[in-house]
Chains A and B, each alone.
Chain A
Amino acid sequence: MEAVEGRKKVPMLSFLIRRLLQTIPTVLAVVLLVFVLFSVVPGSIVSSMSDDADPQVELRLKKQLGLDDPVHVRFGAYIAKLATGDFGTSFRTREPVTAMLAKRAWPTLQLIFAAMAFSVVLGVPLGFIAALRPGGLVDSAAMIVAVTGLSIAKFWLGLVIMYVFALKLGWLPSFGYGDGGLKYLLLPALTLGVSPMALFARTTRAAVLEIMTADFVRTARSKGMSETRVVKWHVMRNALVIILTTVGLQFGGLMGQAVVVEKLFSWPGIGSLLVDSVLQRDIPAVQGSILVVVLAFLAINLLVDLLYGVIDPRIRYA
């Protein structure tokens, strides 16, 4: 008789746990990488604290911070503290890095998710529309816009957006976080969202075009379905699987670009903290910021993996 594959439903929880365990080596490697990288950084650490500290004070300070210990001892100590959620103390502000990061996390999340929402909401439909009449006017226009969006230097685009929407049109505030309200979020999110939007439009178009040639689309048409229904009932969900992959990966790119956008718009996120800390040799803060970005990225991709299961039944958490 015909073999029938059983339906194995591994509980999502165990999948989650396994995936979390899998990320531990990655996280450790990132910590090690950043740690080693910055153990060779030029410029003494104490000089980031005070201009002309007494040499004795400097020595005492180094000892206090454990900077005289060999690298592996320092690394061990750092990991041990990390495990308790302690990212160390900032050289620059003398605050716990954990507290600094906590204050910066929300604005960055806001910015990244707003940019992501904007780029998905605009880019995906644009790609769909373009794909419905490949080679047509809409398609050509959309793809020109998309490839343009991918080819512009981000900070430059941000400046232009700032000039146009804040100064010339006067619609929105040009900078800052204000009271955290939406109007402050729009311009930075727009700036950040343009290139992923372009990317999503292109990916979606390519995905839809590819799926439109699939056999099951022909089947759907043979059922007497209109093109709109074909797209809605059969193409959309399949395209989403591909788009979702791009979205997950693009979060990483967004976090990188957020550094530029946050600096330009005086947005108080992890990115501007990172740049500040890098320029001022505040190593604990640099390590903390990078680590948080990496953790966030891994978490988001875990979420994306879970979403796959919702969208694509072929994926079972086995």
Chain B
Amino acid sequence: MKLRANLVIGGTLFALAVLVGVLAPWLAHTDPVLDANLMNAEEPPSWTWWFGTDDQGRDIYSRVVYGARVSLTVGIVSQLINSVIGVALGLSAGYWGGWWDDVVNALTNVMLAIPSLIFALAIMAVLGPGLTSLLIALGLTNWSFTCRIARASALSLRNQGYVQAATVLGYGDLRIMMTQLLPNMLGPIVVIGTLGMGSAVLSEAALSFLGLGVRPPFPSWGSMLSDARDQITTAPWLSVFPGLAIFLTVLGLNLLGDGLRDILDPHSRSRRT
């Protein structure tokens, strides 16, 4: 019963966030960047301005709505990069073994040794702020767990009868990996991916706070929240709404991840992701 509550609430929250992002042009009242009118600066929430306006007179509601695009892009794309790297390296290392396995192992150890936020910070510093840099920075620094799981599954699966049968049938390595191994490890990978998306959204906020976030004027929740921190007492709505958006989305992803884990990966309740 409880398990389903996780899944339903989490799934709903996340789906809602995605929907808002996709439908942003229809949901938003104004353009999030150009419709700045300093005459309307810092209006509190009202019927006209649902979430109030910011110090440049932009509609916060519209910015939060458009912010979903940026923040979710960061979450989804960067985690996708992580998953692809992790699976590609882990799967091939586990399947082929040998020196390649050693190389991947060493690489994973290096990645595990550098805290991912610090690594992302360094990459951002080199690439400069901006969405692309952010996707690269967060996409390159959080694949080690996926890699480990993929490697472990590949190791245990490659000696299974059906995989060996495929080998005997003369299937190519790539085909075996894609058709025989990958589908069997997808469960835990999806779970890690879901939780990873949540932490990517939070990392975006943290990097914004450190001054290395998405390049405005396009709004992201993290940069909105970070920019609003000085006005927490004078104009709390500036931070409340993007803050809530981050919180609900990450909460949704965490619940969804938990729920998915119960279904897809029942044996690893205690495994850390």
Binding site for B on A (CB under 8 A): 25-27, 29-30, 33-34, 37-38, 40-42, 135, 147-148, 150-156, 159, 163, 199, 203, 206-207, 209-210, 242, 245-246, 249, 252-253, 255-257, 259-260, 263-264, 274-275, 278-279, 281, 286, 290, 293-294, 297-298
Contact = CB atoms under 8 A, between A and B. Distances in A.
Contact of A278 (B121, B206, B243): B121
Given A37-B123, A263-B209, A278-B122, A242 B202 contact: no
A279 B211 contact: yes
B128 interface: yes
11 contacts: A29-B107, A30-B113, A37-B122, A42-B128, A148-B247, A153-B225, A252-B112, A256-B117, A260-B206, A281-B125, A294-B113
Contact of B229 (A155, A249, A252, A279): A155
Central interface residue in A150, A207, A255, by most chain B CB within 10 Å: A150
Interface stretch (B62-70, B149-157, B182-190, B250-258): B250-258
Nearest to B226: A155
B272 A37 contact: no
Contact of A147 (B109, B118, B202, B255): B255
A84 B107 CA distance: 26
A206 B268 CA distance: 9
B209 A30 contact: no
Nearest to A195: B202
Given A151-B198, A256-B117, A206 B210 contact: no
Contacts of B254: 147, 150-151
A256 B116 contact: yes
Nearest to A153: B205
Given A245-B272, A246-B272, A155 B209 contact: yes
A279 B125 contact: yes
Nearest 5 interchain pairs by C-beta: A256-B117, A256-B115, A151-B250, A151-B251, A153-B205
Contact of A260 (B128, B209, B255): B209
Nearest to A281: B125
B118 A255 contact: yes
Given A147-B251, A259-B206, 9 more contacts: A26-B110, A29-B110, A38-B122, A150-B250, A151-B246, A152-B250, A256-B118, A274-B118, A293-B118
B270 to A, nearest CB: 4
Nearest to A42: B128
A253 B222 CA distance: 19
B2 A260 contact: no
Contacts of B247: 148, 151-153
Interface of B: 2, 106-107, 109-110, 112-118, 121-123, 125-126, 128, 198, 202, 205-206, 209-212, 222, 225-226, 229, 232, 239, 243, 246-247, 250-251, 254-255, 258, 269-270, 272
Contacts of A207: 270
B115 A293 contact: yes
A256 B210 CA distance: 12
B251 A255 contact: no
A199 B270 CA distance: 11
Nearest to A163: B232
B33 to A, nearest CB: 23
Contacts of B272: 199, 203, 245-246, 249
Contact of A153 (B115, B118, B206, B255): B206
B265 to A, nearest CB: 12
B232 A153 contact: no
Contact of A156 (B114, B225, B251, B270): B225
Given A151-B254, A256-B116, A29 B106 contact: yes
B198 A210 contact: no
Contacts of B225: 153, 156
Given A209-B269, A249-B272, A279-B125, A294 B255 contact: no
Contact of A40 (B115, B126, B251): B126
B171 to A, nearest CB: 35
A206 B110 contact: no
A279 B269 CA distance: 41
A260 B122 contact: no
A260 B110 contact: no
Contacts of B269: 206, 209-210
Contacts of B232: 159, 163
